[in-house]
Amino acid sequence: MKLFEAEKLRHELAIFGNLRRFKKTYEFKEELKNLNSTSFWNTKTKKDQKDLTRSPIYKDKICIISNFLKTKNGKLLDVGFGLGYLEKKLTGCLKLSLFGIDISEVAVDKAQKTLRGEYRVAGIFKIPYKSSFFDIVLILDVIEHIQTDKTLKAYGEIVRVMKKNGILVVSIPLNEGLEEMIKHGKNPNSHMRNYTPAILKAELKLFGFKIIKESYLYAFQNNYWLKSFFLRLLPFEMKKPNLMIVFARK
C-alpha cells in the first residue's frame, strides 16, 4: 500500500477508534526516500536559523511550549532540539534540568557551547539514558521524519525513558500539501509521514498517553496574531491549521 493511501486508512481507523487495525497498518513500508541523515541535518541546521527566527508560527510554538514548561520541574529531554531556541527560553527555569539529543553534530556542538544543560549526538531509536529517567520529554516536529514501520519503535523508546505520570509534548505539521509536493519531486523538509490530528491522537492512545491540552497554529506570514485571533472564532471544521501541539501525560 502506498504511503498516502495508508495514511488515509489510518485516519479513518483512528476516527472510528479501531486501534487494533490501526496498529497493524504500521507494518506497511512506505515508498518515500529517507533523507534524514546526519549530513542532511547538519546542513539544514546551518541554513534554518534565519528562516526560523523570522517565522511567526515557529515563535508562537516556542512561546506556547515554554510558557507551559515554566511551571514544571524535573528532568526534561528534548529529542531533536535543533537550534535550541526553546532551551534558550528555559535558561532561567532552574527547576528544570535540561537534556537534549540530536543526530546533527552541528546542533549538538553549538548547544554544548551556548546552552545550559547536557546535549548528546543520538537518535530517537536508542536514547542514551536509563529507563524512567525523565519527567518531561519533547518531540517537536520530529515524529513526521520517521519511517512508518519504525514509528512505534520510536514511541516505545520514548515511553521507556519516561517516568510514570511523565509529560510528553509533541508537535506535528498539518495540511502542508506533502502529497502534492511529492508529485512534483519536492520534499524540502524530508517528511516521511502525512499526519492528521486523529492519527497523532491514536498513536498516543496506543501507548497509554492521556491528552491534557491541544493547540493549533496557522502559517500566516503577515498580521499573524490578528489573523490567528479572528480564525479562532470560526468553527473548527472551517479551519485548516498548519501545526498541532499536544501535551499528554503517561
Q: Could you read off the pLDDT of 179-217 as tens digits, one per residue?
A: 999 999 999 999 999 999 999 999 999 999 999 999 999
Find all residues with CB under 8 Å of 87, minimum gap 6, and list them.
Answer: 78, 81, 98, 100, 111, 115, 116, 117
Write down the domain spans for the chain: 3-249
3-249 CATH pick, 3.90.1150.10, 3.40.630.40, 3.40.50.2000, 3.40.50.150: 3.40.50.150
Contact between 196 and 244 (Cβ < 8 Å): no
Return the pLDDT at 58: 92
Instruction: Look up residue 144 and give its DSSP letter.
Output: G
Return the pLDDT at 228: 79
The angle, 0 to 180 degrees and rounded to 10, between the axes of the packed helices 38-53 and 105-114 is 50
Q: Which three cell numbers stand for residue 145?
A: 521524519
pLDDT digits (tens, 9 = 90+) for 15-27: 999 999 999 999 9
Return the pLDDT at 96: 98
Return the pLDDT at 6: 93
Return the pLDDT at 172: 98
> Residue range 67-75: average pLDDT?
96
Can you give 32-65 as a three-state secondary structure string? CCCCCCHHHHHHHHHHHHHHHHCCHHHHHHHHHH
Phi-psi group of 82: left, alpha or beta (phi > 0 → left; psi -120 to 50 → alpha; rest → beta) = left
Is the confidence at residue 238, as pLDDT, over 90?
Answer: no
Tell me the percentage of the chain whose pLDDT exceeds 90: 80
Q: Which three cell numbers stand for residue 117?
A: 544543560
- Radius of gyration of the CA atoms of the chain, in A: 18
